[in-house]
């Protein structure tokens, strides 16, 4: 009986030790850290133009002439008719109002069905110059 308990204890300790071992994706390797893209950010007051892409998709142009793609989690109605909007960072007090790739934002716009509508969208990525040029003209901010 004691042999059975000892074997079970050794197996449990081996599994526990293996779960703590570093893996190549865990950031311990110097090369994998440099391969990760840096988060790119902008302030909401830098937005100069915007256009809706497909449903729930928004492209914004900022002062550095970068174009960011935002995708809503639903509920962003009237984007295609909007002539103005406000973008604020979720948890703006913590971020200082900056929006970075991977962050969530609140989009507030005057609506036709309600006086003001608000939805959430994620800042997905910055488009390259080639991707911006490839956008249909109706989607290009």
Residues 28 and 70 in one domain: no
Report, as an integer, the average pLDDT of 87-112.
Answer: 81
Residue 91's pLDDT is 73
Residues 27 and 47 in one domain: no
Residues 92 and 67 in one domain: yes
If one compares 139 and 3, the residue with the highest pLDDT of the two is 139
Three-state SS annotation for the chain: CHHHHHHHHHHHHHHHHHHCCCCHHHCCCHHHHHHCCCCCEEEHHHEEEEEECCCCEEEEEECCCCEEEEEECCCCCCHHHCCCCEEEECCHHHHCCEEECCCEEEEEECCCCCCCEEEEEEEEEEECHHHHHHCCCCCCC
Residues 26 and 46 in one domain: no
Residues 62 and 13 in one domain: no
Residue 78's pLDDT is 74
Highest mean pLDDT among 3-12, 25-34, 77-86: 77-86
pLDDT at 81 over 80: no
Residues 78 and 18 in one domain: no
- For the segment 10-68, what is each residue's pLDDT rounded down to a tens digit? 554 444 444 444 444 444 444 444 455 688 999 989 999 999 998 889 999 998 899 99
Domain count, the chain: 2
Residue 99's pLDDT is 93
**Residue 27 domain-assigned (yes or no):** yes
Residue 67's pLDDT is 97
Structural domain containing residue 46: 41-134
Residue 54's pLDDT is 87
Report, as an integer, the average pLDDT of 98-114.
Answer: 84
């Amino acid at each position: 009986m004691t042999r059975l308990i000892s074997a079970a204890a050794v197996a449990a300790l081996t599994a526990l030790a293996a779960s703590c071992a570093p893996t190549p994706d865990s950031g311990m390797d110097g090369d994998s850290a440099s391969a990760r893209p840096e988060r790119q950010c902008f302030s909401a007051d830098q937005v100069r133009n915007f256009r809706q892409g497909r449903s729930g998709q928004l492209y914004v142009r900022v002062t550095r002439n970068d174009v960011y793609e935002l995708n809503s989690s639903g509920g962003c109605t009237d984007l295609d008719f909007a002539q103005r909007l406000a973008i604020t960072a979720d948890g703006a007090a913590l971020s200082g109002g900056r929006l970075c790739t991977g962050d969530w934002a609140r989009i507030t716009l005057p609506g036709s069905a309600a006086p003001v509508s608000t939805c959430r969208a994620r800042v997905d990525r910055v488009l390259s110059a080639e991707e911006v040029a490839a956008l249909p003209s109706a989607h290009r901010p």
